[in-house]
Every structure is written in C-alpha cells, then in structure tokens.
Amino acid sequence: MINISMRQKYAKELAALRKMPGVFRTRDVRKLKIHTRNLSAMVNQGLLEKISRGTYRLPGRPQENPDMVNVASRVPKGVVCLISALAYHGITTQIPREVYLAAARGTEMPRLDYPPIRLFRFSKEALASGTEIHIIEGVPVKIFSPEKTLADCFKFRAKVGLDTAIEALKMYLRRKNKDINKLMAYAKICRVENVMRPYLACLL
C-alpha cells in the first residue's frame, strides 16, 4: 500500500515524471533535477516501478509492449526483428518469450535484468534496410517492416523455423495492403528471392 504522506512528499517529482514517456531512464530523470536517492525512495514506497537497471515507469499506466519498450530504451540502435516483429505486425500465431533484436556486428550490448533478448547480428546495410520507427508509450521503437521481417524470417529459417516463416507469409498475403513488389525487393536484398518465390507461386 502506498503511503499517502510519501505521495505528498514527492508530489513535485511525481508531477514532473508524469510528463515523461511511459518508460524513462535515470539520465532522463537527472535532467529534471531529481536526485537518484529520491528515485530509490520512490521505488521503495511503490510510487515508482523499476523495470530493469536504470529504467523506470510510473505504476498504473496502461502498458503496450512493455518488453519491447524496455529494450528500445536501453538499446536505441537495435531493431526489433523476426518473431517479435511478426507479432507486432500481427502476422504470426507465435508468442515470443524473448525480444528478438537485430544489432550491428560489433555493437556492445548493455546488461539487461529483464526482459530476455535473443540477439541477431546484422550488417549495417541490412540493419538500415526496412526499418520503421513506431512510438510506443512515448518511446521510439525501431521495428523492421512486415516485408523486411518476412524476408529475414526466410533468411533465418533455420533459427525461427520454416513453418513459422511460411505461416507468416500466408497471413501477410491475406492482407489488403500487401505489397508483393516490396516483399520481393527485400527478398532480393536478403538473398532469399529464389527461396521465397516457389512459396509465393503456390500461395498467390
């Protein structure tokens, strides 16, 4: 139970934090001139929720993809990919138990207490191709487009499963806004054009 006197004590800090995005970092809080010891006190009093090392949110706010948001706030150069991206775009029945994340080769990854990450190394060119930015809980999250994600799933079919890639392709092709030309352009970039073409021929 939250102590009312504690809420009153930190009313100024809480008012400032309510103007922040859904998830915020310690460095963001410092800009508001809130001391880190006050952060710890607010966490202890239940006024603030610590998601992972250096990452916080206000309790009670509606959450949308909290794991994805947490990862994006800690790894801003990473791009949500493969099954996590399929789930975001609604073209899979799979429920990812970890955040599938693409990062450039040689990128240093911060230590995250939560959520678990499944990391895939991409070239800089592959990482820049088909990237979209979605604002989730006020946080910019990089996610590969549906077409790029499908091409990646066929490229990494040994990792995610060919059945998963085919199912996602079927679900995508049912969409009114599907773009076969864009899909095949990414298939060419990912060098899976010849792999995907027979499946497209059967499903179209």
Give CA separation, 104 vs 13, 120, 121, 190, in Å: 37, 8, 6, 15
pLDDT, one tens digit for every residue, the chain (204 residues): 455 676 777 788 888 877 776 677 777 777 888 887 888 888 888 888 777 777 777 776 666 677 888 888 888 889 999 999 999 999 999 988 899 999 988 777 777 777 888 999 998 888 889 999 998 877 889 999 999 999 999 999 999 999 999 999 999 999 989 999 999 999 999 999 999 999 988 887
Q: What is the pLDDT of residue 1?
A: 47
Domain co-membership, 29 together with 77: no
Domain co-membership, 114 together with 16: no
Radius of gyration of the chain (CA): 20
Q: Which amino acid is at 199?
A: Y
CATH of the domain at 101: 3.30.460
Domain co-membership, 108 together with 31: no
Per-residue tokens: 37: 């010891």
Domain extent at residue 24: 4-57
Domain co-membership, 50 together with 76: no
Domain co-membership, 180 together with 95: yes
> In terms of Cα–Cα distance, which of 131, 96, 142, 133 is closest to 116?
96
> Strand 49-52 relative to strand 24-25: parallel, antiparallel, unpaired?
unpaired
Domain final position from 17, 38, 57:
57
Domain co-membership, 72 together with 149: yes
**First and final CA of the chain: distance in angstroms?**
57
Domain count, the chain: 2
